[in-house]
């Protein structure tokens, strides 16, 4: 990574042992990944491949990009293999990779919707056919599998497709971009793994073609495809949220690897646009259902939030790359954003069984809201557009990758998770052990063992919301510095302790977020809380609660106790401008947003009105 200051650690080098993230990875391995394997069979994804080679007579099922569900599932298996060393799905991989190989055409092309339904549209309608998007997920799965286990059969397939793309659309040849960005970051990753610079050049060309009118505008306009202005001039996040964030991940990947004038400034501006004016409190993105898009600045309605799970996944990818690139916001800001996303929006997307999912993640649900196809009242086992479930699986399998990074002379801990971290060369050959039940508990113990390079230091992020802000050691306190990290020697036998203040706190939104005027949310550590109808008596409705200013009280079970009144308003839809009338007092249970919807469908809200 030529332009990076921070260097990522290999997935096997960070082992999440216990704690919230470690338990989630085990659930992912034991339930979510097997569920995805079963669903790509039952939903017809594998039959779509079989029918191309005469092994099934079923009609094509699913969207034009359904092949990507298979590739994301394979990527999840790859990262789980890298994490655990287990190869429990090898026989399945043998079968499905051999199937993809049979479907691949001699020139490298493979895309079952085109091959089996519309061969006349091959590379003819790039704004909708998702051919390069699907190829991107194929490439990412193939590289992950090769990195995880040395297995290269899928990589051979992916390289043939990438070579076809380069032959057709590389520098000096036809101009083409995909309506759904994703291929860009995959090509950069392929270049990293293979050393082939032409893949990097192809990614750079595709990024440079954005905003040049290569794609038809379509019903939603060119901004839907991030094709409205050149990338270097695009300083505001706009259009389809997932597409914008995947594109930004690819752009940042490119500037990590190559001299790319103007891209860093654009990405810094875009990151500020997304996270300072368009991010939900839970770390979700996308205010509009119609085109799955970002809204205007501060357009963040709670009950109509689209907040697609894939947008949070895409932003985790992008924000991590911005951390590695030493972007303008600083490593602590990027790491804290990832923490918010992982513990809230991403965690809420899957239920406690690991087999039911949300596609959209609103911050309020009214009691009478009807289910929509991609915004149901309760999680469902799969979707006709099933991009989110395998995206969750592949992200959770590699959560350890976001825990730490290295720079010259320093190991940085960005995520406070129960983990064992192998020191990368040249920092030594020892380990750093982190013991914690964070975010339920604020105590974080860190021990250093084994050989460590002389003069090496450990940099530990101390969250900005904690009033307790020092790393304690035998030689005294090491305070949080201006960049958000405390610095201590990386010395064999050293023991450090961080005691974070997890006192619940009220949060208010910027005054321009009209949907949230006069309302407060409650947070504890990195967790956003909500009130769910399941915790209220039948005589008290979530939508009638008025939050009183008394300090929330923490319960031993991870819940909070809030003091609320009940709105006592007349039935008139509109009336004279008087303050909200409220009556009585009630102790109300608030639960982590990540856990809502695990009991029964019903009303829920994060933001509560105040008197």
Q: What positions carry a catalytic annotation?
A: 292, 387
Place of tokens 């998770």: 417
CA atoms lying within 13 Å on the CB side of residue 596: 32
Helix/strand/coil percent split, the chain, to 5: 40, 20, 45
How far apart, in whole angstroms, are the C-alpha atoms of residue 287 and residue 258?
A: 34
Give 34's contacts (C-beta < 8 A, 6+ positions apart).
Answer: none
Q: In sequence order, what are the beta bridge partners of 7?
A: 406
Q: What angle do CA 179, 158, 231 make, to 5 degrees?
A: 30
Dihedral angle computed from the Cα positions of residues 243, 528, 235 and 208, in that order, rounded to the nearest 10 degrees: -30
Contacts of 276 (CB under 8 A, 6+ apart): none
Q: Which residues contact 315 (CB under 8 A, 6 or more apart)?
A: 245, 274, 283, 285, 337, 341
Around 142, how many Cα atoms within 13 Å sit in the side-chain half-sphere? 29
Terminal alpha carbon distance of the chain: 53
Strands, E assignment, 490-607: 495-499, 505-507, 519-524, 527-532, 545-547, 553-554, 560-567, 582-592, 604-605
DSSP state of 222: G
In terms of C-beta distances under 8 Å and separation of at least 24 residues, what long-range contacts does 221-229 make, across chains too? Answer: 224/291, 224/293, 225/127, 225/179, 225/180, 226/181, 227/177
C-beta atoms surrounding 11 within 10 Å: 21
Q: Convert 515-545 into a string of H (helix), E (strand) and C (coil).
A: HHCCEEEEEECCEEEEEEHHHCCCCCCHHHE
Cα–Cα distance, 322 to 333 (Å, whole number): 10
Q: Which residues in 528-555 are b (16+ Cβ under 10 Å) and which e?
A: bbbbbbbbbeeeeebebbbbbeeebeee
Q: Quick one: which H or E segment has residue 145?
A: helix 131-149
Residue 81 CA, distance from chain mean position: 20
346 within 8 A of 395, measured Cβ to Cβ = yes
Residue 372 near residue 384 (C-beta atoms within 8 A): no
CA distances to 61, 453, 459 from 449, in Å: 54, 12, 16
CA distance 522 to 504: 7
| CA angle (258 as vertex; 253, 264 as ends), nearest 5 | 60
Q: Look up residue 188 and give its two tokens.
A: 């950069």
The first and second tokens of residue 385, run together, are 């557009």
Provide the 3-class DSSP secondary structure of residue 514: helix
CA-to-CA separations, 608 to 338, 509, 547, 564, 583, in angstroms, rounded: 25, 12, 6, 9, 16
What are the φ/ψ torsions at residue 138 (nearest 5 degrees)?
A: -60, -45
């Amino acid at each position: 990574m030529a332009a990076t200051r921070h260097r990522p650690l290999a997935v096997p080098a960070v082992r999440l042992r216990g704690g919230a993230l470690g338990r989630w990875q085990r659930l992912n391995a034991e339930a979510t990944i097997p569920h995805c394997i079963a669903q790509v069979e039952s939903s017809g994804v594998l039959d779509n491949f079989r029918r191309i080679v005469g092994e099934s007579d079923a009609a094509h099922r699913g969207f034009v990009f359904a092949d990507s569900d298979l590739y994301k599932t394979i990527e999840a298996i790859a990262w789980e293999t890298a994490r655990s060393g287990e190869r429990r799905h090898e026989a399945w991989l043998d079968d499905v990779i051999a199937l993809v190989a049979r479907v691949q055409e001699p020139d490298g092309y493979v895309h079952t919707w085109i091959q089996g339904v519309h061969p006349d549209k091959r590379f003819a309608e790039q704004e909708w056919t998702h051919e390069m998007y699907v190829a991107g997920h194929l490439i990412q799965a193939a590289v992950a599998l090769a990195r995880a286990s040395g297995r290269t059969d899928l990589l051979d397939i992916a390289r043939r497709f990438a070579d076809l793309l380069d032959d057709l659309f590389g520098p000096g040849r036809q101009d083409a971009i995909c309506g759904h960005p994703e291929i860009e970051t995959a090509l950069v990753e392929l270049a990293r793994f293979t050393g082939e610079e032409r893949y990097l050049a192809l990614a750079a060309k595709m990024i440079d073609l954005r905003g040049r009118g290569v794609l038809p505008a379509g019903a939603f306009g060119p901004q839907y495809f991030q094709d409205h202005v050149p990338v270097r001039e695009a300083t505001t996040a706009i259009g389809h949220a997932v597409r914008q964030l995947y594109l930004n991940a690819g752009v940042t990947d490119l500037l990590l690897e190559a001299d790319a004038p103007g891209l860093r400034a654009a990405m810094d501006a875009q990151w500020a646009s997304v996270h300072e004016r368009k991010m939900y409190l839970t770390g979700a993105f996308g205010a509009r259902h119609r085109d799955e898009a970002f809204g205007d600045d501060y357009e963040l309605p709670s009950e109509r939030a689209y907040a697609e799970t894939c947008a949070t996944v895409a932003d985790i990818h992008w924000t991590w790359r911005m951390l590695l690139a030493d972007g303008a916001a600083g490593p602590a800001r990027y790491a804290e954003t990832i923490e918010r996303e992982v513990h809230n929006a991403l965690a809420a997307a899957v239920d406690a069984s690991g087999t039911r999912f949300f596609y959209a993640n609103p911050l309020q649900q009214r009691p009478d809201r009807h289910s929509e196809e991609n915004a149901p009242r309760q999680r469902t086992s799969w979707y006709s557009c099933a991009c989110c479930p395998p995206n969750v699986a592949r992200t959770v399998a590699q959560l350890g990758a976001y825990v730490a990074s290295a720079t010259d002379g320093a190991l940085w801990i960005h995520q406070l998770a129960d983990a064992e971290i192998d020191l990368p060369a040249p920092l030594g050959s020892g380990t750093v052990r982190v013991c914690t039940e964070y975010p339920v508990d604020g105590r974080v113990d860190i021990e250093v063992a084994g050989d460590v390079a002389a003069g090496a230091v450990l940099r530990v992020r101390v969250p900005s919301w904690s009033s307790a802000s020092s790393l304690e050691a035998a030689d005294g306190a090491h305070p949080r510095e201006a960049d958000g990290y405390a610095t201590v020697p990386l010395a064999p036998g050293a023991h450090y302790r961080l005691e974070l203040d997890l006192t619940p706190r009220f949060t208010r939104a910027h005054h321009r977020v009209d949907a949230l005027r006069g309302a407060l949310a409650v947070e504890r550590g990195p967790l956003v809380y909500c009130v769910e109808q399941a915790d209220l008596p039948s005589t008290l409705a979530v939508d009638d609660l008025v939050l009183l200013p008394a300090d929330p009280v923490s319960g031993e079970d991870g819940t909070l106790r809030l003091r609320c009144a009940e709105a006592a308003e007349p039935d008139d839809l509109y009336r004279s401008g008087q303050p909200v009338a409220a009556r009585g007092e009630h102790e109300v249970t608030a639960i982590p947003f990540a856990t809502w919807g695990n009991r029964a469908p019903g009303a829920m809200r994060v933001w509560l009105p105040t008197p």
